Amino acid sequence: MKHRIQHSTGLRERLPDYAARLNTTAEALAEAYDWMLAHDVAFESPSRDGTVTQISCLDIEQRIEHPLARRFFAALRDEMPCKLLPAYGKNWPTFVDRCRRMWELVYNILINKIPSHNLRLAWLRLGGAKIGKGSAVWRHTEVIGIESLTIGDDTCIGWHCQIDARSGLVIGNHVTIASHVLIVGGGHDLEAPEFWSVSAPIRIEDYAWITSRAMILMGAHVGEGAVVSANCVVSKKIEPYVIVAGQGAKPVGTRVRGLNYKVGGKGLFTLLH
């Protein structure tokens, strides 16, 4: 199977560092890495920033026959900001995953419509989300992949957003995500007849502002204090304090530095939000 999730760029150049951590030689780890590429455990693809390494988005550690490749896959998996899907079958990880999917289904059908910040956040936290102090997720916002969602302090996600955290979504402190924003962490391989899934983590840094109807796609990294304008589609790195707009998320200006405000998403007058 070739369902995969992006790990990083330039992994092959960092193999000596991983070899030291795994207490092996760089040559042995390079051989194990090549084995992973040949057996659909890891994948490489070119990009404008270098060679991107992806790994299987299924937790297939126990199925990997090569001992060192098995250890290397586990090390790469543990660096991901998300939980990989289980190797489905009649096993405990599959049962836990099914329970999580039911938990988020109840949230998206019922809980996210209840006018209580505390109840909604408690449901998300019990489902595995990490949400900081003073943050808010307003009503009618849907969340997928609750267990792979991380939100910092004093961050606000507005009305009617769709948040896909299955590939790992990390949102910093004092972030404003306006209403009707789409955050999509995955897609499908259009060059594969089997329609394999492809995905990548998304990161939104402190004080970023995502305005209404923007779309943040897999692999996006919105820098500190950056602004994504309305109806803009972002699938790349946005530098800190840069304002992007229009087709291709082109820079149109810069934002003032030294930001120190609070979003305040759960004040007295947002009771019904």
Whether the CB-CB separation of 149 and 129 falls below 8 Å is answered with yes
Q: Are 202 and 170 in contact (CB under 8 A)?
A: yes
CB atoms within 10 A of CB 89: 7
Query: Tokens 């500190």 map to which residue?
Result: 224
Domains of the chain (ranges; CATH) run: 14-79 (no CATH), 114-267 (2.160.10.10)
How confident is the model at residue 161, as a pLDDT? 98
Q: Environment class of residue 261 by beta-carbon count within 10 Å: exposed (0-12), middle (13-18) or buried (19+)?
A: exposed
pLDDT of residue 264: 75
> On the CB side of 116, how many CA atoms lie within 13 Å of its CA?
10
What is the rounded distance in angstroms from the CA atom of residue 206 to the CA atom of residue 36? 36
Q: Is the dihedral of CA 82, 200, 210, 253 positive or negative?
A: positive
Q: What is the pLDDT of residues 128-178, one digit of tens each?
A: 999 999 999 999 999 999 999 999 999 999 999 999 999 999 999 999 999
- The whole-angstrom separation of Cα 160 and Cα 234 is 19
pTM of the entire structure? 0.94
Point out the residues of the chain with pLDDT beneath 70. Answer: 265-273
Place of tokens 């992949």: 145
Residue 256 has a pLDDT of 96
pLDDT at site 48: 85
Place of tokens 């102090």: 133
Residue 267 pLDDT: 61
Whole-number pLDDT of residue 89: 87
Residues 6+ apart with CB under 8 A from 226: 205, 208, 209, 238, 239, 240, 241, 242, 243, 244, 255
